[in-house]
Amino acid sequence: MKPFQGFPARMEFTPLPNVFFSRLLPEITDMAELKTTLHVVAALYRKKGYPRFVSFGELLGDVSLAESLKGAGESPEEALRGALEMAVARGTLVGLALEREGNSEYIYFLNDEPGRQAAAKIEGGELKLSGLKSVKRPGVAAEELPDIFTLYEQNIGMLTPMIAEELRDAEKNYPEDWIKDAIREAALHNKRSIKYIAKILETWSVEGRTDGTYQRDSKKAGPDKYFKGKYGHMVRR
């Protein structure tokens, strides 16, 4: 690795709120989430006009960010999507699913007062964005939304069509209370990923489960217990 040559005499600065250092930084343990959060803040700072938001496509097109997210067996797109879901679940960002020419497009605001107000106005149809229109959140209608979908959004992150489909598949293979408990356990260990939830369910199906504990290795409570065994390679640390 080529060593950093140091900061130049004259350069631009991107401000960060003090609460980022006092509240968020100690809690963010996932490197992809941290890198993505910092890039989003920098991108929003460079934006002009109202409202200030950054799209998934813009972030994916950021060469510096994409390069930094390579590795861990995932493509930059997968890593970025997972990192944004974690940032939204944590409350750092506000994410909206919109539509452009029949295709879904996700945009993100900083979770501050202007960002929350803009997102609410867009969802309510009060604020229009050029080329974009507000749509209902991916998945089934809210009044028909199964509990596991609501639980996922509340504890893990944004419910994308792909994640909704994986949850529907899980419903076919596992009891609903297993899925709910797996979502809660993933959130408890701050492993906010549909892959980690799937790994928990697969482990329970292999090792057995009684009243929320395992028949084997039930005393091991750490999150690393799901990285072992046949399906461990499927889960991102």
Same-domain status, 24 and 65: yes
Q: What pTM does this model have?
A: 0.57
* Cα–Cα distance measured from residue 9 to residue 11, given in angstroms and rounded to the nearest whole number: 7
Domain count, the chain: 2
User: Domain containing 28 — which CATH number?
Assistant: 1.10.10.10
Answer with the one of 92, 114, 134 that is the final residue of a domain.
134
Answer with the one of 99, 134, 169 that is the final residue of a domain.
134
* Cα–Cα distance measured from residue 221 to residue 214, given in angstroms and rounded to the nearest whole number: 10
pLDDT tens digits for range 124-167: 888 888 888 776 544 334 344 447 888 888 888 888 888 988 99
Same-domain status, 23 and 56: yes
Q: What is the pLDDT, as a whole number, of residue 208?
A: 78
Same-domain status, 120 and 58: yes
Q: Which domain does 168 fall in, by range?
A: 142-234
DSSP letter for each residue of the chain:
-PPP----SS-------HHIIIIITTT---HHHHHHHHHHHHHHHH--SSS--EEHHHHHT-HHHHHHT-BTTB-HHHHHHHHHHHHHHHTSEEEEEEEETTEEEEEEEESSHHHHHHHHHHHTTSS-BTTBEE-PPSSS-GGG--HHHHHHHHHT----HHHHHHHHHHHHHS-HHHHHHHHHHHHHTT---HHHHHHHHHHHHHH-EETTEESSSTT--SGGGGGSSTTGGGS--
Average pLDDT over residues 214-227: 45
pLDDT tens digits for range 80-113: 999 999 999 989 999 998 888 878 889 999 999 8
